[in-house]
Amino acid sequence: MFPDRKLRYYFKVWLKHDLFAGLSVFLIALPLCMGIALASGAPVYAGLISGIIGGLVVSIISGSQLGVSGPAAGLSTIVAGAIVSLGDYRVFLLTVIIAGLFQFLLGVLKWGIIVSYFPSAVIKGMLAAIGLILITNQIPIALGYEQSDFWSDIFSFFSDSQSAVNMQLANGPVLITAISLLIFIFFGSPYFKSKSVRLPLALVIVVLGSILSGLFISTDSIFALKAENMIRVPTDIFSAIQFPDLSKLFSTVDIWKNGLLIGVIATVESLLSIEAIDKIDKHNRITPIDRELIAQGIGNITCGLLGAIPITSVIVRGSANIDAGGRTKMSAITHGIFLLVSVVTIPFLLNKIPLASLASILIITGYNLTRPAHYKNIWRLGWNQFIPFVLTIFGILSTDLLLGVGIGLLLSIYFIIRNNFKADYRLTATDNSGINAYYIKLNTNVTFLNKVRLKKVLDQLPEYSSLVIDGSECNFIDYDVLEVITSFSTKAHERHIKLQLKGIEKIKIVSAH
């Protein structure tokens, strides 16, 4: 009887809360899945399959009750670069499998906590740079520009009055983009609100764009969109799936390099998203990190095997799930079922969606990643945070994501080391009856990083002075630092410096000769 009672309880929760929440998340996820596939340079169906896998595979395995997984805008630039560099979508799918295996191993070995040590300034800089790239990549699509060298044409426009930039713009996409962006700006919220209903703005824009497109075409208007300005989803999506070329797995190191990069970034995004979702969960449930990584890993392995782009846990969908009243993981599973049903039954309706509508959604998504308020908030935190943040952005934009993140990490490490130099000890000087008296207070942990600076301070002490080095509150003093203090103690008498050590034992220095 007890299992039946429990089953009835969960069914009531699903019917009352999770069904509507799953529908709401589906309405947000549907345009995003297609749009992110578009931004990634992948087939549109690949984004839809990713959303289905995120809902039906990851949600079942994950320990998160409210997290929702699917293709993420933060991975789109990496995916696009990987597809271009590898030159074959089937080869690219191997990188998704490798990324999933990497995440799975992190979870099995319980190493998920490592990601917590990434400096937040670098992570925010990475996301801001991805937002800028997302915006610049989508502007030509939003304007229906028919040439591939949009930005070079724009720059030439200001120096060449005969530039044909205007001739390449399509009236229909420009108008639909303008209306879409005005809707986003005017409402300034993820939802279109009325007295009785809350509709996701992304859905409103997609539906409105589809209606306008149909109207322009039927009236043979100057705003009529061409076939290349529309979404193209195969009627039988499953027959169009491309599968990975496993024979090329060890053909080039770039496959593994891109796979590990996708794995690292997807892991960081997923854990940041899960942490944010847990904070706003009204029931204070905590998601097990390592189980989440196992779920994400299995999900990405499945994506790679079934021709889909990589997935992460996505904060936009997770927060929408909570806003819509989701209670359990059944809401995420329900959203996956809705995605599957829509792909099977209404691909002809999906093909009515203009690319400009999806590009508008992605431009706003990119703006949210790199909005000016983020720069202002990090500026207020000081140079230690702002410089790594800004240089991570410039590094990514001028080189690539991996090198840019590496530059940000090195700068963050530099600031950490510099702060340790200041924190390992404090030096105070007083005048005691005409004699210069110095007092060095060693803090809790003194590392080798401070060896050079401490040696320099000791060497600069004047003759006929006194010095107290107090290490009574130290938990740890590095051997290199003890060696510097011991070496100085042997010279102090010759320089007529009265030395007193507190809580420090001198060591025996072994000669190199």
pLDDT tens-digit map of 37-89: 988 999 999 999 999 999 999 999 999 999 999 998 888 888 999 999 999 99
- The per-residue pLDDT for 141 is 86
Query: Tens of pLDDT along 223-258?
Result: 888 888 888 888 888 888 999 999 999 888 999 999
**Residue 45 and residue 303: Cα distance in Å, rounded?**
12
Which residues are within 8 A (CB) of 351 and not within 5 positions of it... i.e. 6 or more apart? 230, 231, 232, 233
Mean pLDDT of 455-470: 87
Burial class (CB in 10 A: 0-12, 13-18, 19+), 71: buried
**Residue 283 and residue 262: Cα distance in Å, rounded?**
32
- Same domain flag for 98 and 135: yes
Query: Tens of pLDDT along 197-231?
Result: 566 777 888 889 999 999 998 888 888 888 888 88
- Same domain flag for 409 and 428: no
Q: What percent of the chain is modeled with pLDDT above 90?
A: 30
Amino acid identity of residue 125, one-letter, is G
**Residue 189 and residue 366: Cα distance in Å, rounded?**
15
> Three-class SS of residue 430?
strand
- Same domain flag for 366 and 381: no
Mean pLDDT of 127-145: 85
Boundaries of domain holding 464: 424-502
Q: What is the pTM of this model?
A: 0.73
- Same domain flag for 310 and 397: no
The region that residue 509 occupies, defined by phi over 0 for left and psi between -120 and 50 for alpha, beta otherwise, is beta
Query: Tens of pLDDT along 264-305?
Result: 889 988 988 888 788 778 888 888 999 999 999 999 999 999
Q: Are 385 and 365 in contact (CB under 8 A)?
A: no
Domain boundary among 397, 415, 433: 415
Q: Are 106 and 267 in contact (CB under 8 A)?
A: yes
- Same domain flag for 90 and 216: yes
Q: What is the end-to-end Cα distance of the chain in Å, rounded? A: 84
- Same domain flag for 216 and 278: yes
Residue 509 lies in a domain: no
Q: Are 218 and 394 in contact (CB under 8 A)?
A: no
Residue 508 lies in a domain: no
Residue 329 per-residue DSSP state: T
Residue 470 per-residue DSSP state: E
- Same domain flag for 265 and 385: no
Of 33-37, 84-88, 433-437, the range with the lowest mean pLDDT is 433-437
Residue 407 lies in a domain: yes
- Same domain flag for 89 and 68: yes
Residue 379 lies in a domain: yes
Which residues are within 8 A (CB) of 305 and not within 5 positions of it... i.e. 6 or more apart? 93, 97, 243, 244
Of 120-129, 151-160, 303-312, the range with the lowest mean pLDDT is 151-160
Q: Higher pLDDT residue, 2 or 347? A: 347
Residue 510 lies in a domain: no
Residue 343 lies in a domain: yes
- Same domain flag for 342 and 381: no
**Residue 358 and residue 180: Cα distance in Å, rounded?**
10
| Cα–Cα–Cα angle for 216, 219, 223, rounded to 5 degrees | 35
Q: Cα 200 to the chain's mean position, in Å?
A: 23
- Same domain flag for 387 and 363: no
Mean pLDDT of 345-354: 87
- The per-residue pLDDT for 79 is 94
Which residues are within 8 A (CB) of 9 and not within 5 positions of it... i.e. 6 or more apart? none
Q: Are 427 and 406 in contact (CB under 8 A)?
A: no
Helix, strand counts (H, E) of the chain: 22, 10
Residue 214 lies in a domain: yes
- Same domain flag for 298 and 328: yes
Number of domains in the chain: 3
- Same domain flag for 297 and 444: no
Burial class (CB in 10 A: 0-12, 13-18, 19+), 369: buried
**Residue 295 and residue 42: Cα distance in Å, rounded?**
23
